[in-house]
Amino acid sequence: MIFPCIDLMDGKVVQLVQGREKALEGDAPEAMLRKFAAFAEIQVIDLDAAMGRGSNDALVRMLAAKAVTRVGGGVRTVERAQALVAQGARKVIVGTSAFTADGINSEFLAHVRDAIGRERLLIAVDSKGGRIVVKGWRESTNLAAEEVLRSLEPYCSGFLCTYVDKEGMMQGTDLSWFRRLRAATSLELTAAGGITTIEEVQALLAMNVHAALGMAIYTGRLSLSELASLK
């Protein structure tokens, strides 16, 4: 599947480069939903919540009420995960809180799984320089994505894996990394970060990996109509 992305910051739809520099603003959230109407599911990330500087709850609630969504950003408590489900999110994405300084935050993940159901929980395993990064991609851990997917499987129904090295840079992604991840888990896998061409999207789909697309859609590099035909 292909998941168009709606990233929220300061009440606006934005696209960032490597999670830091704002590159552009999109149309209003409702307008973006209309543009993405041909797609079965939308990915929504609350960047303010992810960075610990507020939230865009009202917009998340509106988007989740009007579309099938997978929602992440700042899910650091069981209550936050439950609230997103109550707002209408089909799946909840947990990133930073899935990990500790030394490894996997098993206790927290078990609590979230038990509270909302394993089928609703996705874990974000984002990588920069070969290591998992957290806290809005600003801190690096000592963990490699390929090494932890299997251990995370009991808690979730799938993974969102972002290749942060190329996120938002329109320079292509690392298909070999996603092949290694695909070999490391049997669960649903969604790729993000630097996906720029239709050939990359097709290559990911061919290896049974979903694609979450942001910058390439917002800049017009990828055609929504062509992508919709790949579903």
Per residue in 163-173, pLDDT (tens digit) is 988 775 677 89
Q: Where are the domains of the chain?
A: 2-228
2-228 belongs to CATH 3.20.20.70:
yes
Phi first, then psi: give them for residue 230, nearest 5 degrees.
-90, -5
Between CA 51 and CA 136 the distance in angstroms is 5
Between CA 97 and CA 75 the distance in angstroms is 7
| Predicted pLDDT of residue 165 | 82
CA distances in angstroms from 159 to 66, 110, 130, 214, 222, listed in the order given: 24, 16, 17, 17, 24
Measure the CA dihedral 147/148/154/159, to 10°: -110
DSSP 52: T
| Predicted pLDDT of residue 66 | 94
Q: Which residues pair with 127 in a beta bridge?
A: 132, 163
**Farthest-apart Cα atoms in the chain, separation:** 44
Per-residue pLDDT tens for 113-149?
A: 999 999 999 999 999 988 888 877 778 888 999 999 9
Decide: helix, strand or coil at residue 88.
coil
Overall average pLDDT of the 217-230 stretch? 93
Catalytic annotation, residues = 7, 126
| Predicted pLDDT of residue 65 | 92
